[in-house]
Amino acid sequence: MTELEMAMGMIIDVFARYSGAEGNKLSLTKGELRTLLEKELPGFLESGKDKTTVDKLLKELDANGDAKADFNEFMMLVAVLTSTCHMYFEQEES
Ligand SMILES: [Ca+2]
């Protein structure tokens, strides 16, 4: 497998690890999303210390309005954060 294929597989694995904790295995409840962020993106939650961060984030991600984040909705977060990181490193280099 290539590096990119492995990275894609790892994103799928991480999503499944948390989405399977409660309820529907195909989407993240608010609690599952919170746990995923705490464990996998600790810096992200620290930057927004107030308790409504996860609520606000879920509202933004939840395109189909079912109060859960399915894989496609979760990928929006991964894409935006990865893109933001990339912009940051681009600025560092220039
Ligand atoms: Ca949703």
pLDDT tens-digit readout, 62-83: 999 999 999 999 999 999 999 9
Number of domains in the chain: 1
CA of residue 87 to ligand 1 center, whole Å: 27
CA of residue 28 to ligand 1 center, whole Å: 8
DSSP for the chain, written as a single string: --HHHHHHHHHHHHHHHHHTSSS-TTEE-HHHHHHHHHHH-HHHHHHS-STTHHHHHHHHH-TT-SSSEEHHHHHHHHHHHHHHHHHHHHHHH-
CB of 61 closer than 8 Å to CB of 73: yes
Domain extent at residue 14: 3-93
Confidence of residue 47 (pLDDT cuts 50, 70, 90): low
CATH code at position 79: 1.10.238.10
Residues around ligand 1, an ion, CB closer than 5 A: 62, 64, 66, 68, 73
